[in-house]
Structure 1
């Protein structure tokens, strides 16, 4: 029975990925608004009914690529080694992502990745869904942090730092800088951002 359930799960994941891949190709080729759900289903060789079993809306076909990372920061905190603080674990995780050119860090200069992000940021309905995803990711992180009454505030600050770092990397890549050329500055910026999170803004901006 366990083997059968594992096989079904793998099959579901393959179908889900095939639908999402088909949608992404069509969106990048023709533009988000120009592609219909029927076209996506046909491209993925599934029925429209099957498509909606995996994705509740057309927007989910795009935001699903981000949703895979929704609990990533929370999981990083929960699975950190004993004796390692949350900020240290999160900093190491982000630096590892930079090293791997993980798209979530903004340091992925593959043309399809840059085009995909630009598409998301140019469509108002996708921006709204992305904001919902971000809110859920912040909430998940807040629940994973030790709660002394400030976990939510800390989670929002940490997540904002991740967004700012990724956005800055994407801005440089969009201007023509390669990921390899941007990498040293990206590492320096990440270390600086986590230092600010650790020590606060007072020492930098004299807000004490």
Structure 2
């Protein structure tokens, strides 16, 4: 990659981040449905067509953060170490994410992360779009696990368990507890859930 290509890519990434950051700040302050796209473009100092080049829909301004994790379960299942079963690999991956307080596990008490999750869970259009991501993740994981109905059922069960665990963790933190305080319960819940899946 040439220096000018690298510079262009970095500039595009900065523009994308600026648009997304402006959008999320406005959404957290005023609510998703009450912020027009024109206001987001103005806050990010870009034109509306530029905004839509980076984010095709208003929902994408929020959910691109989840898109970073799209296909992750399938990747973990495919790239697991030899001799490790897919459920064991997925369980270890989720436990490691809990230890990092990864926001995707719901175990993150940074006020902006808690508010971000509240925004997503409380906005029907965002929750609906997130459900579409889950359907795509489920298909990708099923493909990684094998063929037929058993692979699809197992993929659906794994992703449902991860979703329920993450939502339970987030709710405890939204109720005022710290991530450090919730961590042992989150680990025990994950261990129980994955043991039941086996």
TM normalised by structure 2 equals 0.94
Distance across 1 between alignment mates of 2:3 and 2:95: 37
| Offset, 1:148 | 5.7
| Offset, 1:54 | 0.9
Distance across 1 between alignment mates of 2:196 and 2:149: 20
Tell me what 2:158 maps to. 158
Tell me what 2:102 maps to. 102
Does structure 1 residue 121 correspond to structure 2 residue 121?
yes
Tell me what 2:134 maps to. 134
Distance 1:49 1:169, change over 3 A: same
Which moved further from structure 2: 20-29 or 116-125? 116-125
- What are the superposed Cα offsets for residues 161-201 of structure 1, whole Å, 9 maximum, x if unpaired? 10011011111111111100000111011111110111xxx
Tell me what 1:180 maps to. 180
Distance across 1 between alignment mates of 2:76 and 2:100: 16
Structure 2: runs of 5 or more not aligned: none
| Offset, 1:9 | 3.1
| Offset, 1:48 | 0.9
Report the aligned-residue RMSD.
Answer: 1.5
Distance 1:39 1:143, change over 3 A: same
Distance across 2 between alignment mates of 1:162 and 1:2: 41
Tell me what 2:55 maps to. 55
Distance across 2 between alignment mates of 1:149 and 1:86: 16
| Offset, 1:3 | 5.1
Structure 1: runs of 5 or more not aligned: 199-208
Distance across 2 between alignment mates of 1:143 and 1:5: 35
TM normalised by structure 1 equals 0.89
Secondary structure, aligned partner of 2:32: coil
Tell me what 1:72 maps to. 72
Tell me what 2:146 maps to. 146
Tell me what 2:22 maps to. 22
Distance across 2 between alignment mates of 1:183 and 1:10: 36
Secondary structure, aligned partner of 1:58: coil
Tell me what 1:35 maps to. 35
- What are the superposed Cα offsets for residues 125-156 of structure 1, whole Å, 9 maximum, x if unpaired? 11211111111111111122133651111100
Secondary structure, aligned partner of 2:180: helix
| Offset, 1:98 | 0.4
Distance 1:149 1:33, change over 3 A: closer
Which moved further from structure 2: 125-134 or 185-194? 125-134
Distance across 2 between alignment mates of 1:79 and 1:19: 34
Distance across 1 between alignment mates of 2:153 and 2:56: 31
Distance 1:140 1:13, change over 3 A: farther
